């Protein structure tokens, strides 16, 4: 410590003539009671300040914070649960919609198929009818054609016979033509 002139007056049991400590100040008995007195006062003051004001206050703040955290966590869990429920409902709605869409599509497909089948059957029937009709007409035409051929053949045969200069009766020519036509 700085040596100031004023301290030279303080020379005593613990301080030398220059104002410096003699030996260890910690071991100088003259200085001990003063420290113990002020220490006890200080400790009592600190104890009352801490135990009456500071520590209960900090304890309440910590407890309050713990409570807030617990509440917030449970609220967050509740919200999470709700979100999960909403997600499940959404998924369910989506699945339902998909099933319904599939059902509708299936139904539409079935309907179209039924209609198509009906139309095909009708068309087949019509075709069959038309072809039967045509066949009948064709048969008629063929029959009339054969008749005509026969008539023409008879006439031609008659004409050829006449041209050859011979006459034959109508009945013989008809029989001969009919005979030929069969073969």
Q: Which of 5, 17, 59, 155 binds another protein (CB under 8 A)?
A: 59
C-beta closer to another protein: residue 28 or 176: 28
For 105-172, the DSSP string reads HHHHHHHHHHHHHHHHHHHHHHHHHHHHHHHHHHHHHHHHHHHHHHHHHHHHHHHHHHHHT----HHH
Question: DSSP state, 54?
Answer: I
Q: Which of 5, 17, 62, 183 binds another protein (CB under 8 A)?
A: 62
Number of chain positions touching another protein (CB under 8 A): 49
- In the chain, the largest separation of any two C-alpha atoms, in whole Å, equals 197
Helix then strand then coil, % of the chain, to nearest 5: 85, 0, 15
CB 33 within 8 A of CB 14: no
Q: Which of 51, 102, 106, 120 binds another protein (CB under 8 A)?
A: 51
Residues 6 or more apart whose Cβ sits within 8 Å of residue 150: 177, 178, 181
d(CA 99, CA 93): 10
C-beta closer to another protein: residue 6 or 163: 6
CB of 77 to another protein, least distance (A): 20
Tell whether residue 57 is a contact of another protein (CB under 8 A). yes
Q: Which of 17, 54, 79, 145 binds another protein (CB under 8 A)?
A: 54
C-beta closer to another protein: residue 31 or 154: 31
CB 22 within 8 A of CB 16: yes
Tell whether residue 6 is a contact of another protein (CB under 8 A). yes
Tell whether residue 40 is a contact of another protein (CB under 8 A). yes
C-beta closer to another protein: residue 39 or 149: 39
Q: Which residues bind another protein (CB under 8 A)?
A: 1-3, 6-7, 9-10, 12, 14-15, 20-21, 23-27, 30-43, 45-47, 49-51, 53-55, 57-62, 64-65, 68
């Amino acid at each position: 410590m700085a040596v100031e002139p004023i301290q030279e007056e303080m020379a005593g049991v613990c301080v030398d003539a220059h104002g410096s400590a003699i030996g260890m100040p910690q071991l100088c008995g003259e200085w001990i009671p003063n420290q113990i007195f002020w220490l006890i006062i200080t400790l009592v003051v600190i104890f009352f300040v801490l135990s009456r004001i500071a520590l209960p206050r900090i304890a309440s703040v910590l407890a309050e914070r713990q409570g807030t955290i617990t509440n917030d966590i449970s609220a967050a869990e509740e919200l999470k649960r709700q979100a999960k429920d909403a997600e499940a409902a959404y998924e369910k709605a989506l699945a339902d919609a998909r099933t319904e869409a599939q059902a509708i599509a299936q139904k539409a497909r079935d309907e179209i198929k039924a209609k198509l089948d009906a139309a095909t059957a009708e068309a087949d029937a019509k075709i069959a009818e038309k072809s039967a009709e045509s066949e009948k007409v064709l048969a008629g035409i063929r029959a009339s054609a054969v008749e005509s051929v026969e008539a023409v053949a008879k006439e031609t045969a008659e004409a050829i016979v006449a041209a050859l200069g011979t006459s034959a009766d109508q009945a013989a020519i008809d029989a001969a033509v009919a005979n030929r036509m069969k073969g």
